[in-house]
């Protein structure tokens, strides 16, 4: 039993779910209501109508805005009479909170748990459909207020709860009583109908609403509409006359530019803008350029050089323009991999995406594969270039031969002084000649990588362009003395350098 003491509370804002309810009408407001028992306190009875009076700004159950049943019952039932069978969309329920935070510690949560909502055409819930039954909520998860979608037809909306079959799930109160502060029932909005109010009414006569179940218009259609549900719009009847309200036919024929029984079919591209026949749509003077057929509604294909097709049969007198084919009609785009007039050319296999190109020009999609150039990728790289878009330069191939246009390799080897597949790597120190096969002598200073010539000279005692010839001296005593002095000076200088 909750405390009747006045509790300190904050300002409470009721959730109206504005985005939903603004489109609907509250059918339960001020309608007759009933509950299985009514609680009274200090001469005040908390009757069933308090849950449909539109007031729920104070959620303390003692403040006269909530319907309350007697305490410690095994079941509690409440219902509202909508006055007639209605197309219900959803039900809104606001339960008491005692104006304190709604969480697992709120007493009313354990009384609210396990509730049912029924829609019925009689006061007996068993005659109706069960719209909702709480089997999963806990004291921590049960929402308040709650919106329940109930896409059913009925006159009575019944709220029910019981404690008749113990043991109960954790968190449930052992006894049952109602604390309903408000119950709102919403039907489809204006100009809507059907089980879920998702279908729009047509244009009923004098703006009257359509039937909320099947969408029919009781008194017929407004001018400009026809059909059982008045959802069909009249065509372009002559002089703006209304069409027949059942089949949409135009009694006086069609205005210029339309034809057919309902005048909904537009004329084709008749010559010089002339009107077509309002019965069969034919063009008495033939078609404008670019169209053909009896009604001039068939578009010409792409004839060669932009020529018009025959306005009767649509054939192209001079064949097809680039990018299309199909015998004489020229109305089918070239299949992938072909291009040009009548699609007679094949896209290059050297395209970046092999054999994929513009159907008119043959220009390769995404450019060319490595080693190829031109818009249709039919030319190999030249001028000592190779690779993607021919941007890379060849190395020093033997005898000035061009490198391979795709990978830059040199078919006949390298010139002197370089090596590698592309002949673009200089010989390392101490090597020279073709493919750097030759080894410089140890006596050589500044060995030239092309010729092996010692550009900085030889070590003492050696001579020749590659310093591979030992020096020779005479046998006389003077030559020997000079040699010994030169050698001694070199040795002395070498020691200083060390």
Domain chopping of the chain, boundaries: 18-187
Could you tell me which CATH number the domain at 18-187 has? 2.60.120.260
For 118-136, what is the mean pLDDT?
A: 96
- Cα angle: 378, vertex 381, 385; to 5 degrees: 170
- The residues facing 393 across adjacent strands are 385
3-state SS assignment for residue 82: strand
List, for residues 36-50, the tens digit of each pLDDT value.
999 999 999 999 999
Q: Which residues touch 488 (CB under 8 Å, ≥6 apart)?
A: none
* CA 126 to mean position of chain CA atoms: 47
Neighbouring CB atoms inside 10 A of 5's CB total 8
Which pLDDT value is given to residue 342? 87
Is the pLDDT at 195 greater than 80? The verdict is: no
Take residue 185 and report the two structure tokens written for it.
Answer: 């029932």
Q: Which residues touch 136 (CB under 8 Å, ≥6 apart)?
A: none
What confidence tier does 193 reach under pLDDT thresholds 50, 70, 90? confident
What confidence tier does 196 reach under pLDDT thresholds 50, 70, 90? low
**Which range has the worst mean pLDDT, 354-358, 378-382, 492-496?**
492-496
Q: Which residue bears the tokens 């207020």?
A: 145
| Mean pLDDT over the full length of the chain | 87
**Which range has the worst mean pLDDT, 93-102, 250-259, 290-299, 433-442?**
433-442
What percentage of the chain reaches a pLDDT higher than 90?
A: 69
Take residue 328 and report the two structure tokens written for it.
Answer: 């004489």
Is the pLDDT at 323 greater than 50? The verdict is: yes
List, for residues 461-473, the tens digit of each pLDDT value.
999 999 989 987 5
Which pLDDT value is given to residue 219? 83
Is the pLDDT at 11 greater than 70? The verdict is: no
Q: Which residue in 46, 78, 91 sits closest to 65, CA to CA? A: 46
Is the pLDDT at 26 greater than 80? The verdict is: yes
What confidence tier does 234 reach under pLDDT thresholds 50, 70, 90? very high
3-state SS assignment for residue 252: coil
Which pLDDT value is given to residue 473? 58
> How many residues are recorded in the chain?
498
What does the alpha-carbon distance between residue 20 and residue 241 come to, in Å, rounded to a whole number? Answer: 40
3-state SS assignment for residue 229: coil
Is the pLDDT at 10 greater than 50? The verdict is: no
What confidence tier does 445 reach under pLDDT thresholds 50, 70, 90? very high
Question: Phi and psi (nearest 5°) for 109?
Answer: -65, -40
What confidence tier does 444 reach under pLDDT thresholds 50, 70, 90? very high
List, for residues 259-278, the tens digit of each pLDDT value.
999 999 999 999 999 999 99
pTM here is 0.45
- Output DSSP code: residue 341: B
List, for residues 74-104, the tens digit of each pLDDT value.
999 999 999 998 878 899 999 999 999 999 9
Contact between residue 26 and residue 82 where contact means Cβ atoms under 8 Å apart: no
Which pLDDT value is given to residue 201? 86
Which pLDDT value is given to residue 218? 80
What does the alpha-carbon distance between residue 294 and residue 280 come to, in Å, rounded to a whole number? Answer: 9
For 108-115, what is the mean pLDDT?
A: 97
What confidence tier does 5 reach under pLDDT thresholds 50, 70, 90? very low
Which pLDDT value is given to residue 386? 96
Output the DSSP codes for 298-340: EEP--BGGGPPPPTTT---TT-BPBTEESTTT--EEPPTTEES
Position with higher pLDDT, 60 vs 213: 60
């Amino acid at each position: 039993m909750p405390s009747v003491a006045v509790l300190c509370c904050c300002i409470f804002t009721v959730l109206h779910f504005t985005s939903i309810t603004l489109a609907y009408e509250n059918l339960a407001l001020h309608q007759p209501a009933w509950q299985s028992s009514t609680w009274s306190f200090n001469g005040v009875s908390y009757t069933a109508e308090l849950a449909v009076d539109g007031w729920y700004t104070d959620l303390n159950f003692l403040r006269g805005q909530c319907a309350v049943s007697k305490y410690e019952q095994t079941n509690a039932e409440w219902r509202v009479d909508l006055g007639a069978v209605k197309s219900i969309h959803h039900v809104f329920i606001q339960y008491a909170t005692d104006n304190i935070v709604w969480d697992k510690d709120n007493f009313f949560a354990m009384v609210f748990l396990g509730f049912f909502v029924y829609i019925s055409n009689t006061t007996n819930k068993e005659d109706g459909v069960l719209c909702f039954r709480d089997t999963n909520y806990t004291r921590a998860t049960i929402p308040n207020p709650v919106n329940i979608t109930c896409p059913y037809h009925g006159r009575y909306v019944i709220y029910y709860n019981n404690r008749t079959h113990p043991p109960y799930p954790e968190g449930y109160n052992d006894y049952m009583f109602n604390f309903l502060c408000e119950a709102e029932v919403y039907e489809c909005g204006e100009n809507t109908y059907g089980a879920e109010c998702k279908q729009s009414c047509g244009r009923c006569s004098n703006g009257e609403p359509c039937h909320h179940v099947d969408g029919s218009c009781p008194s017929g259609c407004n001018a400009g509409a026809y059909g059982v549900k008045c959802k069909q719009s009249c065509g372009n009847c002559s002089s703006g006359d209304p069409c027949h309200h059942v089949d949409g036919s135009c009694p006086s024929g069609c205005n210029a530019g339309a034809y057919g029984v309902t005048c909904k079919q537009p004329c084709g591209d008749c010559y010089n803008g002339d009107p077509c026949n309002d019965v069969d749509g034919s063009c008495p003077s033939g078609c404008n350029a670019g169209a053909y057929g009896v009604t001039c509604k068939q578009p010409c294909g792409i004839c060669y050089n932009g020529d018009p097709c025959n306005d009767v049969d649509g054939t192209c007198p001079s064949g097809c323009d680039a990018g299309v084919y199909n015998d004489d009609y020229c109305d089918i785009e070239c299949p992938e991999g072909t291009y040009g007039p009548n699609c007679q050319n094949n896209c290059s296999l050297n395209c970046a995406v092999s054999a994929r190109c513009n159907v008119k020009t043959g220009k390769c999609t995404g450019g060319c594969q490595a080693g190829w150039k031109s818009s249709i990728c039919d030319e190999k790289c030249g001028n000592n270039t190779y690779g993607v878009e021919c941007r890379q330069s060849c190395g020093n191939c033997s005898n000035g031969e061009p490198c391979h246009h795709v990978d830059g390799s040199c078919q006949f080897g390298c010139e002197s002084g370089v090596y590698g597949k592309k002949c673009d790597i200089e010989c390392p120190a101490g090597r020279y000649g073709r493919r750097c096969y030759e080894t410089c002598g140890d006596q050589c200073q500044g060995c030239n990588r092309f010729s092996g010539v010692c550009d900085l000279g030889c070590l003492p005692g050696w001579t020749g362009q590659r310093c591979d010839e030992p020096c020779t001296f005479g046998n006389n005593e003077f030559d020997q003395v000079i040699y010994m002095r030169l050698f001694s000076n070199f040795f002395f200088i070498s020691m200083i350098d060390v």
